[in-house]
């Protein structure tokens, strides 16, 4: 169980109160009804309850505020809410309030501890454990002098003490019997207090476990979402790596051209009749598949006589595929007496 600061503890104490009150009330409800109802009407017949000189022990009161806060947390974790004397959350909080009167967390913690302390006081009274009842009464009185349970507790403890005295006188208990009774009372008190405080602590532990489980579920969901995102990113990277890479274009020059078909140009009729010769330099581009994609006249002699036939011939040329386009120039001669 993780330590809780005083200002965080009241919310958890309220959760434990429900179970603790049900257990405790069922144990003391009938005895409370049996307590003398006329004590308020006959105050002279009762013996006023005298709480201990110090509700908080001197050792506890001497601790620093930081030590008291730490001790209060430890006592609460160990289910020591109001007992044993000198080492319980109630005393540590009361001493801490004396040092830090305005601390709202301390006041809230004391408020939430009060119902359990009242119930424990009633149970101590009903067991005849008046020393413990008076000690707890002193804690309640120090925590809140105007608490509505104080008059009732004071009167009922005094009445129970008086009834016990009368019963003891009637039975004339021996010293041995008295000692045995005190031992038994102490055992019953410790067992009852331990059970009640353990139940309150278990309620708090269960809630903290639920909160931890919820936090773990949320963390697991986030981790699963992150894993899914990482997996998708990895798949995308793998797909990109597996995709075929574009073939890098090798450097190709005109010397790499291997002709497959280079038909000769037609001789213009007029030039042939006139016995006219000449030449045309054509610039053309061989596409990757070996076809000629474009052609243009760079120079011709004589001008414009053989241009058209030279370009037409070059466009019909075919070369071996070269993988990347290449632009080159060729000079085509026209000779009427040639083969």
Condensed to tens digits (0 to 9), the pLDDT of residues 23-66 reads 444 444 444 444 443 344 334 334 444 545 589 999 999 999 99
Q: Residue 17 above 60 pLDDT?
A: no
* Per-residue model confidence (pLDDT) at position 134: 96
- Region 268-294: mean pLDDT is 94
Q: How confident is the model at residue 244 (pLDDT cuts 50, 70, 90)?
A: low
Does pLDDT of 249 surpass 70?
Answer: no
Nearest partner of 120 among 57, 54, 191, judged by Cα: 191
Mean pLDDT (the chain) is 84
- pLDDT band of residue 250 (cuts 50, 70, 90) is low
What was the pLDDT predicted at 34?
40
pLDDT at 10 > cutoff 50: no
What integer pLDDT is reported at residue 3 of this predicted model?
40
Q: Is the pLDDT of residue 229 over 70?
A: yes
Residue 240 pLDDT greater than 50, yes or no: yes
- Model's pTM, two decimal places? 0.45
Structure tokens at 228: 């899914």
For residues 85 and 134, give the distance between their C-alpha atoms in angstroms, rounded to a whole number: 12
Measured CA to CA, the distance from residue 173 to residue 310 in angstroms comes to 144
**Helices (DSSP H) in the chain: which residue ranges?**
9-34, 58-61, 65-77, 89-99, 104-127, 130-143, 149-171, 175-242, 269-273, 307-315
- Average pLDDT value for residue range 178-204: 87
Query: Where in the chain are all domains bearing CATH 3.30.2420.10?
Result: 254-334
The 8-class DSSP code of residue 291 comes to B
CB 130 within 8 A of CB 139: no
Rg (CA), the chain: 53
pLDDT value at residue 33: 44
Cα separation, 201 vs 189, in Å, equals: 18
Residues 152-178 have pLDDT tens digits of 999 999 999 999 999 988 888 677 888
The share of the chain scoring above pLDDT 70, in percent, equals 81
Q: What pLDDT sits at residue 150?
A: 96
Distance (Å) of CA 212 to CA 128, 150, 174, 200, 209: 43, 40, 56, 19, 5
* Cα–Cα distance, 249 to 52 (Å, whole number): 101
The second-level CATH assignment, the architecture, of 254-334 is 2-Layer Sandwich (3.30)
Higher pLDDT: 39 or 67? It is 67
Burial class (CB in 10 A: 0-12, 13-18, 19+), 2: exposed
Q: Are 320 and 255 contacting, i.e. CB atoms less than 8 angstroms apart?
A: no
pLDDT of 6 over the 50 cut = no
Is the per-residue pLDDT at 282 higher than 70? yes
Query: Is 60 exceeded by the pLDDT of residue 12?
Result: no
Greater pLDDT, 211 or 47: 211
- Please report which confidence band the pLDDT of residue 267 belongs to, taking 50, 70 and 90 as the band edges: very high
Percent of the chain residues past pLDDT 90, beyond the cut: 60
The predicted model gives 268-285 an average pLDDT of: 94
pLDDT of residue 35: 41
Nearest Cα neighbor of 332 from 313, 315, 319 is: 313
Express each pLDDT in 127-161 by its tens digit: 999 999 999 999 999 999 999 999 999 999 999 99
Give 93: exposed, middle or buried? Use CB within 10 Å, 0-12, 13-18, 19+: buried
């Amino acid at each position: 169980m993780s330590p809780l600061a005083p200002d965080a503890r009241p919310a958890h104490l309220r959760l434990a109160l429900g179970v603790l009150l049900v257990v405790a009330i069922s144990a003391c409800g009938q005895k409370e009804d049996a307590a003398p109802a006329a004590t308020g009407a006959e105050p002279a017949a009762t013996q006023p309850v005298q709480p201990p000189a110090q509700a908080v022990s001197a050792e506890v009161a001497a601790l620093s505020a930081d030590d008291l806060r730490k001790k209060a947390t430890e006592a609460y974790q160990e289910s020591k809410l109001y007992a044993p004397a000198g080492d319980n959350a109630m005393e540590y909080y009361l001493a801490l309030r004396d040092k830090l009167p305005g601390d709202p967390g301390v006041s809230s913690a004391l408020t939430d501890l009060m119902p359990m302390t009242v119930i424990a006081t009633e149970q101590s009274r009903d067991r005849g454990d008046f020393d413990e009842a008076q000690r707890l009464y002193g804690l309640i009185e120090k925590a809140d002098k105007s608490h509505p349970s104080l008059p009732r507790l004071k009167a009922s403890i005094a009445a129970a003490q008086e009834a016990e005295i009368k019963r003891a006188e009637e039975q004339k208990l021996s010293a041995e019997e008295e000692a045995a009774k005190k031992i038994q009372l102490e055992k019953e008190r410790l067992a009852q207090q331990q059970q009640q405080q353990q139940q309150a602590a278990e309620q708090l532990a269960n809630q903290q476990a639920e909160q931890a489980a919820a936090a773990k579920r949320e963390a697991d969901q986030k981790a699963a979402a992150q894993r899914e995102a990482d997996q998708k990113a990895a798949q995308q990277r793998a797909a990109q790596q597996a995709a075929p890479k574009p073939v890098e274009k090798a450097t190709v020059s005109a010397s790499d051209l291997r002709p497959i078909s280079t038909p000769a140009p037609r001789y213009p009729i007029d030039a042939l009749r006139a016995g006219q010769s000449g030449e045309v330099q054509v610039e053309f581009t061989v596409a990757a598949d070996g076809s000629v994609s474009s052609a243009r006249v760079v120079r011709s002699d004589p001008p414009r006589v053989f241009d058209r036939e030279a370009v037409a011939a070059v466009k019909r040329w075919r070369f071996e595929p070269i993988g990347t386009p290449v632009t080159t120039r060729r000079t085509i001669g026209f000779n009427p007496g040639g083969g």
